[in-house]
Structure 1
């Protein structure tokens, strides 16, 4: 068995599946990801550092898809967004891309109290409120508390609607987060009927697949976009790579206060990422 050396000096078995997933996050198809992961496992020396493996991944991925040079890892790109308001608005944009009618956050009156929610979304005759959870450390797990709180809010809002205090009939809740979910959180959400969209959960229509299906990548997917530039673009309503790739560069530059040459550079890289 071959091992890799982590940043803290500890050893762990070489995980070909993790290499495949990283290649997938860089935009490679399953066939290329499988082949390159096998090649890296074969050629990497035993005890290789994880940083060296990442360099090998990017080098080989660029040979297959040159646009890889212009993009960062999708999980990292999501973590680079400011939690409020940028990631919240990004989630609203993503839900609209998937057919939801979405209103921005508001305060809803329950029977026992008021509740500020991040969005109200409607689809297929069902109305839900959306709670958005963002972690800067994308390796951190989202746990049980969010689901328990959402369950309590659903009950209070439904009682509030029956008593006439709440003007919106809420059928359920949806929690959207940029990280993986703990097993406890998954079990509770399933048992209590709380919707969850995490990085890789559920297996179908998770955050990663929802983004990739519609190419709704955050603008931070573009390599070289600093947090300050991303914040300016987001404040001006440019949250996704599609918006900057195909929007009017002059208008974006003026609205965001970002030099035109920088907007054009980001837009060119974004088009390279989006187009096959």
Structure 2
């Protein structure tokens, strides 16, 4: 429709109705609701509108329909809310791998041939060990440049040299680089060339973070529209990272002094989010 919008990076791009439709579909809303929201948003567009403003408008419309839809729609923002430090993001990635059949550990010290390294996530599965480094950005528009896979590749090679020189039950496979944003073109080119596994918000195609989260139904507690920022941070410090964790550990809501009526509303929202086809 020839409408230019501004991304969080400041870059101008053509507005894509299909991208907006795709993100709305992931919320679980019906085709009728999605079409209604698309029509409203499209009528309100103007040249130079920011993608953030479009997102906020679509989010507000979804919230009017049903909070569960709005919660799933705000997934990308919810991942940013795992900050400001990267540790909750590391725990979240470990949780995703755990529900993919891995046994995981967070913040492990692994000895390399030259020096010792603190590894964000170590994952074990079927005789293989995977080490994953997580690069978390708390601000939109900041992407992982080539320095990140360069640095992580050198750490991985140092660990692997010592690992391969000794006897282990597991084989140490390729290292992972995981980010909540995106990789630059050079970062992708180098990472793939050197043999790292790269995982970002939308990479690999159809198997990026957003795809894995939707597929597994593993939404972070930060997607809640009813919990305050302070309450979310409290839960994260107690290792309640996933919505499904809160269902099992609902007593933490009592620790926060939340009333029974509000507690029931929060748990109903969380259960709706966790409904997974």
**TM class by shorter-chain length?**
0.7 to 0.9
Determine the structure 1 residue equivalent to 2:270.
270
Determine the structure 2 residue equivalent to 1:229.
231
Residue 87 (structure 2) pairs with residue 94 (structure 1): no
Structure 1 residue 273, shift from structure 2 partner: 2.6
Q: Which runs of 5+ in 1 are unaligned?
A: none
Structure-2 separation of matches of 1:7 and 1:177: 18
Contact 1:73 1:221 in 2 (8 A): yes
Which deviations, in whole Å up to 9, do the C-alpha atoms of 1:187-218 show, x marking residues without a partner?
A: 11111110111000001321101111111111
Partner of residue 123 from structure 2, selected from 118, 121, 124: 121
SS at match of 1:199: coil
Q: Which runs of 5+ in 2 are unaligned?
A: none
Partner of residue 208 from structure 1, selected from 198, 207, 210: 210
Residue 17 (structure 2) pairs with residue 16 (structure 1): yes
SS at match of 1:81: coil
Determine the structure 2 residue equivalent to 1:131.
133
Structure-1 separation of matches of 2:12 and 2:235: 41
Structure-2 separation of matches of 1:188 and 1:19: 31
Partner of residue 240 from structure 1, selected from 242, 254, 274: 242
Relative to structure 2, which stretch is displaced further, 178-187 or 265-274? 265-274
Contact 2:63 2:69 in 1 (8 A): yes
Contact 1:175 1:195 in 2 (8 A): yes
Cα separation, partners in 2 of 1:242 and 1:109, compared to 1, 3 Å: same
Determine the structure 1 residue equivalent to 2:219.
217
| Mapping of residues 1-276 of structure 1, within 5 Å | 1-3=1-3, 6=6, 13-24=14-25, 26-28=27-29, 35-36=35-36, 39-40=39-40, 43-44=43-44, 46-47=46-47, 49-50=49-50, 53-54=54-55, 56-58=57-59, 60-61=61-62, 67-69=68-70, 73-82=74-83, 83-164=85-166, 170-244=172-246, 246-249=247-250, 251-253=251-253, 257-261=255-259, 262-275=262-275
Structure 1 residue 23, shift from structure 2 partner: 1.7
Structure 1 residue 265, shift from structure 2 partner: 3.3
Structure-2 separation of matches of 1:157 and 1:168: 14
Structure-1 separation of matches of 2:117 and 2:249: 38
Structure-2 separation of matches of 1:108 and 1:7: 39
Q: With structure 1 as the length reference, what TM-score do the two structures score? A: 0.82
Alignment RMSD (CA, Å): 3.3
SS at match of 1:172: coil
Contact 1:142 1:185 in 2 (8 A): yes
Structure 1 residue 13, shift from structure 2 partner: 3.8
Relative to structure 2, which stretch is displaced further, 79-88 or 62-71? 62-71
SS at match of 2:218: coil
